[in-house]
């Protein structure tokens, strides 16, 4: 009799937990329907996305685990399928969904450049990148891929500013160049601090990146530093 009671209590507990999760999911969806992503923290928007790969389970802990593992929501979406599946709780369906979101973003970013913006001067490029990164609170590196007429073919964002320790940055850029058959490139990143001048590390790493790109027949034309109101061209200041 006691065993039956315990089973009954267990079933009731499971049912209550299921109802709690269902109610939470519904509230989160309604909040998104009403206000979009405004006010959502990174882990919360990821939690909502995970609903569609993991039914009837609390996805909040997994959202936190993913952001802790990859550093940010952008880092999660940029991770490879293999890297994602190394995180406990991430199966093939979940990893594919996350990779699909990144793929959709990339297609949308490419579609914005179909009018072929021409970046053939420092003023055009500096203003273009400054407007693109306007309002960013985190340092973000932008890769501008150009054709031989200096028309923008693709704009790609990397998760963080360029640094000497991120050999992954070069690997990502090289893969992008090969995939799109690109031979001309401009780099840019923002300084949320408001100081537009490049650091010593910015200069050293830019020179290193220029040499690495040269080995795969890609010309690095410039590296811009931008703030909310200014831009700085390393080429114009003869820093590389």
Whether 239 maps to a domain, the answer reads no
Q: Are residues 221 and 126 in the same domain?
A: yes
Provide the domain count of the chain. 2
Strand pairing of 152-158 and 141-146? Answer: antiparallel
Q: Is residue 226 a contact partner of residue 196, using CB atoms and an 8 Å limit?
A: yes
pLDDT number for residue 166: 47
Residue 32 and residue 40 in contact, taking contact as beta carbons nearer than 8 Å: yes
* pLDDT of 109 over the 70 cut: no
- CATH number reported for the structural domain that contains residue 103 in this entry: 1.10.150.20
pLDDT tens profile 35-58: 887 778 999 999 999 999 998 789
Residue 201's domain comprises 115-233
* CB hemisphere CA count around 186 (13 angstroms): 28
Q: Considering the chain, what percentage of its residues have pLDDT values greater than 70?
A: 84
Report CA torsion sign: 168, 172, 175, 181: negative
Residue 115's pLDDT is what?
Answer: 60
Report whether pLDDT(156) > 70.
yes
pLDDT category, 9, cuts 50, 70, 90?
A: very low
Q: Is residue 240 part of a domain?
A: no
pLDDT in tens, 221-234: 999 999 999 999 99
Q: How far apart are CA 234 and CA 141, in angstroms?
A: 15
Q: What CATH number does the domain containing 194 carry?
A: 3.40.140.10
**More confident site: 138 or 152:** 152
DSSP 18-76: HHHHHHHHHHHHHHHHHHTTTT--HHHHHHHHHTTTSTTS--HHHHHHHHHHHSSHHHH
Which of 129, 208, 224, 215 lies closest to 178 in space, CA to CA? 215
Q: Which of 88, 110, 132 is the last residue of a domain?
A: 110
* Spatial separation of the C-alpha atoms in residues 49 and 42, rounded to whole Å: 11
Q: Are residues 105 and 138 in the same domain?
A: no
State the pLDDT at residue 56: 78
The residues pairing with 17 across neighbouring beta strands, listed in sequence order, are: none
**Same domain, yes or no: 82 and 125:** no
**Could you report the per-residue pLDDT of 183-237, keeping only the tens digit for each?**
999 999 999 889 999 999 899 989 988 998 999 999 999 999 999 999 999 999 9
- pLDDT at residue 49, rounded to an integer: 93
Query: Which of 59, 86, 110 is the last residue in one of the domains?
Result: 110
Residue 129 lies in a domain: yes
238 in a domain, yes or no?
no
């Amino acid at each position: 009799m006691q065993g039956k009671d315990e089973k009954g209590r267990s079933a009731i507990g499971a049912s209550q937990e299921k109802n709690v999760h269902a109610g939470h999911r519904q509230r989160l969806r309604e909040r998104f329907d009403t206000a979009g992503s405004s006010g959502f923290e990174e882990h919360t928007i990821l939690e909502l996305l995970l609903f569609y790969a993991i039914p009837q389970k609390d996805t909040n802990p997994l959202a936190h685990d993913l952001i802790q593992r990859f550093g940010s929501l952008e880092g999660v979406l940029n991770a490879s399928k293999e890297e994602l599946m190394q995180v406990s709780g991430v199966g093939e369906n979940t990893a594919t969904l996350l990779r699909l979101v990144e793929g959709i973003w990339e297609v949308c970013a490419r579609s914005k450049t179909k009018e072929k913006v021409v970046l053939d001067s420092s003023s055009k490029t500096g203003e273009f990148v400054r407007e693109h990164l306007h309002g960013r609170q985190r340092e973000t590196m932008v890769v501008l891929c150009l054709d031989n007429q200096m028309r923008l073919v693709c704009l790609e964002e990397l998760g963080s500013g360029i640094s000497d320790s991120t050999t992954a940055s070069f690997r990502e850029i090289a893969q992008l160049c090969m995939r799109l058959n690109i031979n001309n490139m401009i780099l840019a990143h923002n300084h949320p601090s408001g100081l537009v001048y490049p650091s010593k590390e910015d200069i050293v790493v830019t020179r290193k990146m220029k040499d690495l790109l040269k080995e795969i027949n890609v010309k690095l034309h410039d590296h811009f530093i931008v703030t909310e109101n200014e831009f700085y061209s390393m080429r114009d200041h003869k820093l590389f």
